[in-house]
Amino acid sequence: MRLGRGPRPPGPRAKGAVAVSGTGLDKRRNGRPVLADVDATMTAGEVLALVGPNGAGKSTLLSVLAGDLGPDRGEVTVDGRPLGDWTPVELAMRRAVLPQHHLLSFPFPVVDVVRMGRAPWPDEGEDIVAGAMAATGVAHLATRSFLALSGGERARVALARVLAQRTGVLLLDEPTAALDLHHQELVLRIARERATEGDAILVVLHDLGLAAAHADRVMVLSGGRVVADGPPAEVFTPDLLTDVYQHEIEVLPHPRTGTPLVLPRRS
């Protein structure tokens, strides 16, 4: 820990620069391997979708890359420096994490929940808070208690908090799980906009169609290992997905855009 020095704010990242890198990551839970020799990178200006069946290790990998969970082996770096070289405040200035579950025990008003995203910064940034709430469609809920919201509303408020943190790295764990079709598209459009502005985005998704439509790159996990990593059109093949998901899958081009449509084969 550095003494006598305030937190070091992040500098600009060049588009295409590696923002977060994990090398040789292993993790065990209850004696069971959850990640095995995983290499993963997040790049500025790119949306990376992390996909795979239940239990593949997606949320664990996100937590390890975020620094919320330590690996048993391997190293994670942010902007080329090991996670341990950053203070908690410096790390919070560099990456924001949207967990899968939005746990909050007190009836804070929505606007105060979103303001929590400004905690690492010296200014409250009310314009930033307002912009995050407008972008996620929750401005009309500002005075409502977070605990009184529906699951989908809570998910969008939690995303607004992450956006208000104004970091160049976003790690989003199943941000579309509780949302209807309109809000799924809204969330992933926001992720695309942030990537266009130069941010590095990692998003865990179960819907392979959403991953194909919105991600620049997909990483497929199975049994804690990376089995494919690349553009959706190259990675999403019927043979690979059938093997990973243990269900026969067909992949068809969208008739207008050519984006892969991933469908279970039904009799």
Residue ranges of domains in the chain: 18-264
Cα dihedral 116/77/33/218 (nearest 10) = 80
Split at pLDDT 50, 70, 90, the class of 5 is low
Assign domain 18-264 to a CATH class. alpha beta
If you average pLDDT over every residue of the chain, what do you get? 93
| Residue in this structure with the two tokens 């330590």, named with its chain if needed | 70
- Residues near 227 by beta carbon (within 8 Å), at least 6 away in sequence: 220, 221, 240, 244
Distance of alpha carbon 240 from alpha carbon 62, whole angstroms: 23
Model pTM score: 0.93
Split at pLDDT 50, 70, 90, the class of 2 is very low
> Rounded mean pLDDT of 144-166?
95
Tokens for 183, please give them. 């809000």
> Rounded mean pLDDT of 4-10?
71
Distance of alpha carbon 51 from alpha carbon 204, whole angstroms: 6
pLDDT tens-digit readout, 43-90:
999 999 999 999 999 999 999 999 999 999 999 999 999 999 999 999
